[in-house]
Amino acid sequence: MIPTPRILCIGTHHKCGTVWMRRVWRLIGQALDIPMRPLHRPRKWTDLPEEGRVICVNWSSRFAPGLMEREDARFLHIIRDPRDVLLSGARYHETAPGRQENFLHVPNPDWNGRTYQQQIRHLPTREEKLAFEMAQHHASVLAEMTAWPYGHPRAIDLRYEDLIEDTDCAIFGRVLDHFGFQGAEHDTALEIYHQNSLFGGLKDRSDVGRLKTHVSSGKTRRWLTELPPRTAALYLERHGDDLIKLGYESDRTWLDKLRPDAMSGSETQAEG
């Protein structure tokens, strides 16, 4: 007999719907009286309650092997086209207000004492900013994506691109089925998802600041028109095989898909 899902795990990656999923699952947990626990240190999973359901989140999708092996654990894992992650990440790291991301504000002697944010702002062209991001934080995010155990029997792997267009909530409904939600609980969770998605209740609301900013800037396939050709060529050289592994390309000929109006980068000066 397969155990009833009890440990409900949500894994994303930076700029792959994390802020969106954090809000959705926090509200689901509140509505259904299911505690939500961050598991950013994999070893901490043994501190989970021994009874009752719990929602566990890890925004790098690094769950401990022991947790992955539990038959009462279920997983939702979300990825996004890494080329769009690169564009979104570089822009966010250059403009992020305050100190929401600690790593952005640590002085680094390799950058003459500048912080990550100061360094990316210091670079004069868009191409240089994207190359910097690609070699730094983006490389870590891509390593997380490719390290995930795809095909895990108790995990659902989804693409951000599909979720952002899940206007009939059918995809998320299957996630709720996978997590064991039924009846009124299923309906409640599905309504929360719809009300907190740009295609649903969120589109006409102005009171959700950070979430709306993050999600509304998360268009799909931005890279087709926004990735400078030389940056795209560099990405192909470094990570072309990763795109194939993740299923976003079937071969290494995707440079031909870049549209003529894609910004050259070498002629585009830094914004801000």
Tell me the pTM. Answer: 0.89
- 199 found inside a domain: yes
H runs (alpha helix) in the chain: 18-32, 65-68, 82-95, 116-122, 126-135, 137-147, 160-163, 170-178, 183-195, 209-216, 223-226, 229-245
Alpha-carbon distances, residue 32 vs 7, 49, 103, 187, 202 (angstroms): 14, 17, 34, 11, 21
- 264 found inside a domain: no
The span from the CA of 63 to the CA of 222, in Å, is: 30
The span from the CA of 4 to the CA of 146, in Å, is: 29
Domain that holds residue 19: 7-79+165-213
Give the chain's mean pLDDT. Answer: 89
The span from the CA of 181 to the CA of 190, in Å, is: 10
- 265 found inside a domain: no
- 153 found inside a domain: no
| Residue 25 and residue 64 in one domain | yes
Among 50, 86, 102, 55, which residue's Cα sits nearest to residue 227? 86
User: What integer pLDDT is reported at residue 169 of this predicted model?
Assistant: 96
User: What integer pLDDT is reported at residue 82 of this predicted model?
Assistant: 98
Q: CB atoms < 10 A from the CB of 91, how many?
A: 20
User: What integer pLDDT is reported at residue 42 of this predicted model?
Assistant: 74
pLDDT of residue 170 exceeding 70: yes
Q: Which of 32-46, 88-102, 134-148, 214-228 has the highest mean pLDDT?
A: 134-148
| Residue 90 and residue 209 in one domain | no
